[in-house]
Amino acid sequence: MERLDRKNFPRSEQIPTGEALGRTTSEPVYAKLSSPNFHTAAMDGFAVQASDTFGASLDQAISFSIGKKAWPVNTGRPIPERTNAVIMIEHVNFVNDETFEIEKAVVPWENVRRVGEDFVQSEMILPSHHIISAYDMGALLCGGITKVSVIQKPKVLLIPTGSELVPVSAIESCIPAVGDTIEFNTTILAGLVTQAGGTADRADIIPDNYDQIKQALKSGIESDYDMVVVNAGSSAGSEDYTAAIIAELGEVLVHGVAMMPGKPTILGIIKGKPVMGNPGYPVSAVFSFETFGLPVIYRMLGSSMCNRPNMTAYSARKIPSKLGREELFRVKLGKVGNRVVAAPLPRGAGSITTLTRADGIIRIPSNVEGIEQGSMVQVELLNLPQQIERTLVIIGSHDLTIDCLADELVNHGMYVSSSNVGSLGGLLALKNDTAHVATSHLLDEETGVYNWSYIKRFIPDVPVEVFHGVMRDQGFMVKKGNPKAIRGFEDLTRHNVTFVNRQKGAGTRVLLDYYLNKVGIDASEIKGYELEEYTHTSVAVAVLSGVADVGMGVLAAARALGLDFIPVATEQYDFVVPQKYLDDEKVMRLLEILRSQTFKSRVTSLGGYGVGRSGERLIESK
Amino acid sequence: MERLDRKNFPRSEQIPTGEALGRTTSEPVYAKLSSPNFHTAAMDGFAVQASDTFGASLDQAISFSIGKKAWPVNTGRPIPERTNAVIMIEHVNFVNDETFEIEKAVVPWENVRRVGEDFVQSEMILPSHHIISAYDMGALLCGGITKVSVIQKPKVLLIPTGSELVPVSAIESCIPAVGDTIEFNTTILAGLVTQAGGTADRADIIPDNYDQIKQALKSGIESDYDMVVVNAGSSAGSEDYTAAIIAELGEVLVHGVAMMPGKPTILGIIKGKPVMGNPGYPVSAVFSFETFGLPVIYRMLGSSMCNRPNMTAYSARKIPSKLGREELFRVKLGKVGNRVVAAPLPRGAGSITTLTRADGIIRIPSNVEGIEQGSMVQVELLNLPQQIERTLVIIGSHDLTIDCLADELVNHGMYVSSSNVGSLGGLLALKNDTAHVATSHLLDEETGVYNWSYIKRFIPDVPVEVFHGVMRDQGFMVKKGNPKAIRGFEDLTRHNVTFVNRQKGAGTRVLLDYYLNKVGIDASEIKGYELEEYTHTSVAVAVLSGVADVGMGVLAAARALGLDFIPVATEQYDFVVPQKYLDDEKVMRLLEILRSQTFKSRVTSLGGYGVGRSGERLIESK
């Protein structure tokens, strides 16, 4: 049986104290010098023997000859032998150049920092396993420690495997071919190793070839790496060799863990060194490595596992989860009212942005079957609590201008958490008090007025104000050149035309249904009516990639992806704000930005937007 | 009037994405590629046109010819043109090498990650002013961003000034001479700049000479530094030139701030660049720089000031503070029961360890005159909240073994916050519920028994257990060779002998008084009886440095500083634990360590300790 070779951990090395920021002490550090190391004047003035000043008063000044019973001294300088106090320069009356008088005595050791006042030679300055701060470097130098013993940084080798992978360098000058996947998992893992206090090297990409992977792993083990990680090939597919190779070279301890994402994790030992096989989806790779790889690195650093800070949050939605395995969910966080609200991000383990957009992670244990909406959950924080305090939560209809708003808010030290759940979903979020602002463009088919009737109907108990956001052109997005010759709604029913729709509750879907109704088309006649996407850009991509021939959305989305656009209507996209949040700093800033020229020019340049009334408070039309 | 030259901030530069960890984006980053960038198989299996599978069931299998209507595909690979779904390999029944059957249909896009499922080309991946995480590097590369625009690191020049200063290199091989002060402030400040995201260079030490300092400052301003800091010489002493030099070269905006420590701060501008003069005491230098220098660096980085996380704590003691200036106090924190308790550290601005030992900082505003014991205060955290949760609070009598215990606890991921307030102070801390453990060696003069009678008298309402700590030798500490020939208590009354005492409430003082009483000496006969120190080592230093000729303390302290030791008594030093904390994980671990062989050998090697009964629970003797 293979065993981890522990004798080398933690390994220590001596480094100059001035370079020790963030490193971990390998042993307690004891002062070589006291601080201060000599009796030190704490004030500018004259050093004296305190007993020589006894009796001095307003009535009876005592005079001193400079250089005989009193010596000039500056702050930070040693006081002469046989003196034990300093008279402040401000308390001295000069008689002439050689003599001064005082009218007040000093007590022994007044205005003197005595030897060892802070710490004394032989005292412990830092314990072992302490992460050295900027302050600590100062204390060590102060104690005469110019070199400090720290734990060596564990060295990790990351081996990317996969025949579909191309290195970052390959896309620097040209667009990747279909089938080429950019290798970025090891860049993420290297960053995580660095942040944990280790160093990481990334090997060249190895194709899915048993012998080549084996060779790379073997040479990593035989070099001075403390740990080797193979990413990916940890599953059970026809080209997943990692487990077999580890078994050949050493021993597989674990293959597969009850955790999602991250299930196909391999843990093994070769020649006493820990080896890990990671799944290939980026989120799986991250969770697998953070859960099983980072603790090994922390252990090599001699530290107890450094957990992320926790926070209790209120779940904005029901989060279903399967029994029998731990599930990790990425969530957005924002403080709405007095509660921190957690909104789950999509589950897809291939979606790296579900990590970059996440503020925290919820772990649902294997014996729990999901979390109800409104229940309290523990969240491991990825962001600082103070950032979450400064996050504006916007829920509702998707529009590209939200990105502009978010980018402008960042300049004011505020952040946006936005969830695209459609206009109606946004209004309901206000009802549940899980958002500061809802975005909505719900057209009342009868009155032709936006939003108000929906607000009255769905959230009658939430007093809100409505602010004009933008006017925007909605229309059909089609491939360049409009190959299917789409002209109007009647074209959607043609047999050779596939439509892509927005989800129920989305304003764009309401708009579509309004027009279908108007021209007398039944939804069942449209092929693809049931194919739902959640954002304008997703619809545009569905068209671009051939999933559908046509979809409805805003001009800006079509333009961003080089699609043609057939205008259908101009509609009103608004911001709905509960009255109680009108004086929230973040909301106030949002409205200010909406009204700003910077925002208006920026949005105008996207195309298809009207910003004449942006930020205007709307009065309910009766 | 001088004005800050803002046109260059923030300055941006392009760097490889893989090197961008921790850097700040200078502009929003938009995806160049969608993710995925092609319709991607999400499972190993066969790519098909979903409509070809419709109707397949257990009764009616549908067969596929491989290479005609079905193509093998692995996870992560593109699906062929005109296919729109993947049949999982597990759901396939092979008829022969060229044919398989299925008994279940797939819906369009089943087991396929469609183009843009995560994000689409043109979508914003990161906003501006975003600090790039390991995850973000992955998302950027995934979006085809191989180079990223980030804000340049502000360059800061730190100029140490002071004729008393010697560089660290000077003490690497020899002990510093009396009067030499090791220059370490700029090492601390450089660390703070680095952590904030800038880079710092440290100039050579400049003596207190107007022209030389002026020259160094001028050449810093004329180089490519974004900010110059002169440390120290910011006060109004005869050798404090910084303000005059800045005034000559540019403009002094501020000289002196209503903040302690850090009052003599200078802020100025020379040729459009910010210049700062810092006070020389390390704590003053740090607070001055953190309060006025770091925000400038954050601003140069285009970020809003990144405040430290906050926590509410209960003040363990009254903290007096003067009206008219903001006062900053360093505090130790620990969670005792359900409350986080803040205990102020000494105020001395020269004591660097008051920063290294601090868990947080309390700011008392200029219009508040101190804080009462037991009031709630806001603490800026220097440590992680989870570290504070794992901190054992020990208050009471000082002993060198506490350092050993702390160092052993660190190995278990636990920390010690210890305050030396004497045995009685420790017991009272238990009464106020501000400590998990009190350390005490209070001798009952009548019974000769330690601690119990004091517990009964001072904390009758706190149910406690007492655990034997160590037996330790107490005695007289005198200079090497015992020049004043101290033999016993009667020698303390000699005219040529100066004593140094421990503070009231200290067990060592109780012991002294017990013996003085026994041999019939009046305290007033002892010169220096009123000179109080708080720890054994401080007493030892007072003797070593000539402040006193003799003091009482433990052998280990005398030995650590090379003093001679005349034994007086062996006494018992115990750990008093409220019953309600007996099952606290940290307390349990402490007791375990007390009983461990590792601890016992370690303490024995200090000298003068008996560890035979360490960790034993003591029964109250009636």
The pLDDT of residue A200: 98
By C-alpha distance, the chain A residue nearest B189 is A134
Q: Residue B128 above 60 pLDDT?
A: yes
pLDDT tens, residue by residue, A441-479: 999 988 889 999 999 999 999 999 999 999 999 999 999
| Residue A295 in contact with partner chain B when CB distance is under 8 A | no
The pLDDT of residue B274: 96
Contacts of B319 (CB under 8 A, 6+ apart): B329, B344, B362, B364, B370, B371
DSSP for A506-528, please give it: -HHHHHHHHHHHHHT--GGGSTT
A566, A543, A545: which is closest to A554 by C-alpha? A566
The pLDDT of residue A314: 94
Instruction: Report chain B residues whose CB lies below 8 A from the CB of A147.
Output: 172
Q: Which of A538-542, B8-12, B495-499 has the lowest mean pLDDT?
A: B8-12
The pLDDT-based confidence of B452 (bands split at 50, 70, 90) is very high
Helix (H, G, I), strand (E, B) or coil at B107: coil
When the pLDDT of each residue in chain B is averaged and rounded to a whole number, the result is 93
pLDDT tens, residue by residue, A157-170: 999 999 999 999 99
Chain B nearest CA to A34, separation (Å)? 9
Which residue among A38, A138, A168 places its CB closest to the CB of B141? A168
Instruction: Report chain A residues whose CB lies below 8 A from the CB of B560.
Output: 120-123
- Please provide the distance, in angstroms rounded to a whole number, between the alpha carbons at the two ends of chain B: 81
Neighbours of A93 (CB within 10 A): 11
Average pLDDT over residues B573-585: 97
The pLDDT of residue B305: 59
**Does the distance separating the beta carbons of A188 and B121 come in below 8 Å?**
no
**Does the distance separating the beta carbons of A114 and B542 come in below 8 Å?**
yes
User: What is the rounded CA–CA span in Å between residue B294 and residue B305?
Assistant: 8
| Residue B131 in contact with partner chain A when CB distance is under 8 A | no
B432, B472, B476: which is closest to B450 by C-alpha? B472
B317, B207, B222: which is closest to B270 by C-alpha? B222
The pLDDT-based confidence of B413 (bands split at 50, 70, 90) is confident
From residue A265, alpha-carbon distances to A24, A104, A230, A242, A285 in Å are: 29, 77, 10, 10, 9
**Does the distance separating the beta carbons of B42 and A114 come in below 8 Å?**
no
Instruction: Report chain A residues whose CB lies below 8 A from the CB of B174.
Output: none
Q: Report angle CA A554, A555, A561 to the nearest 5 degrees.
A: 105
User: What is the rounded CA–CA span in Å between residue B528 and residue B511?
Assistant: 17
User: What is the rounded CA–CA span in Å between residue A109 and residue A89?
Assistant: 16
Helix (H, G, I), strand (E, B) or coil at A404: helix
Residues shown for chain A: 622
pLDDT tens, residue by residue, A10-21: 789 999 999 999
User: What is the rounded CA–CA span in Å between residue B149 and residue B457?
Assistant: 69
A325, A323, A314, A229: which is closest to A276 by C-alpha? A229
Phi, psi of A478 (to 5 degrees): -135, 165
The pLDDT-based confidence of B242 (bands split at 50, 70, 90) is very high
HSE-up of residue A84 (Cα within 13 Å, Cβ side): 14
Neighbours of A453 (CB within 10 A): 17
Query: What ipTM was reported for this prediction?
Result: 0.92
The pLDDT-based confidence of B595 (bands split at 50, 70, 90) is very high
Q: Residue A419 above 80 pLDDT?
A: yes
Q: How many helices (H) and strands (E) does chain B have?
A: 16, 36
What is the share, in percent, of chain A residues with pLDDT greater than 70?
Answer: 99
Chain B nearest CA to A236, separation (Å)? 10
pLDDT tens, residue by residue, B386-404: 889 999 999 999 888 999 9
Phi, psi of B243 (to 5 degrees): -60, -45
Helix, strand and coil percent figures for chain A, each rounded to 5: 25, 30, 45
pLDDT tens, residue by residue, A321-351: 999 999 999 999 999 999 999 999 988 899 9
The pLDDT-based confidence of A353 (bands split at 50, 70, 90) is very high
**B residues 49-88 lying closer than 8 A (beta carbon) to A:** 74-78, 84
The pLDDT of residue B172: 87
User: What is the rounded CA–CA span in Å between residue B225 and residue A414?
Assistant: 29
Instruction: Report chain A residues whose CB lies below 8 A from the CB of B238.
Output: 44, 74
Whether the Cβ atoms of residue B575 and residue B590 lie closer than 8 Å to each other: yes
**Does the distance separating the beta carbons of B118 and A353 come in below 8 Å?**
yes
User: What is the rounded CA–CA span in Å between residue A356 and residue A354?
Assistant: 6
Q: Residue A132 above 70 pLDDT?
A: yes
As a whole number of Å, the CA-based R_g of chain B is: 34
Tokens 């308390």 belong to residue: A91
Instruction: Report chain B residues whose CB lies below 8 A from the CB of A191.
Output: 21, 133-135, 137
The pLDDT of residue A566: 96
Mutate one of B26, B112, B141, B477 to test the A interface: name it (highest A CB count within 10 A): B141
Mutate one of B175, B238, B241, B541 to test the A interface: name it (highest A CB count within 10 A): B541
Most confident residue range from A231-235, A238-242, B599-603: B599-603
Which residue among B84, B182, B406 places its CB closest to the CB of A141? B182
Q: Which of A57-61, B326-330, B364-368, B417-421 has the lowest mean pLDDT?
A: B417-421
Q: Residue B622 above 70 pLDDT?
A: no
Q: Residue A509 above 70 pLDDT?
A: yes
**Does the distance separating the beta carbons of A130 and B547 come in below 8 Å?**
no
By C-alpha distance, the chain A residue nearest B174 is A144
User: What is the rounded CA–CA span in Å between residue A86 and residue A83?
Assistant: 8
User: What is the rounded CA–CA span in Å between residue B417 and residue B382?
Assistant: 14
Chain A nearest CA to B370, separation (Å)? 24
The pLDDT of residue A622: 55
User: What is the rounded CA–CA span in Å between residue B521 and residue B541?
Assistant: 25
Q: Residue A303 above 80 pLDDT?
A: no
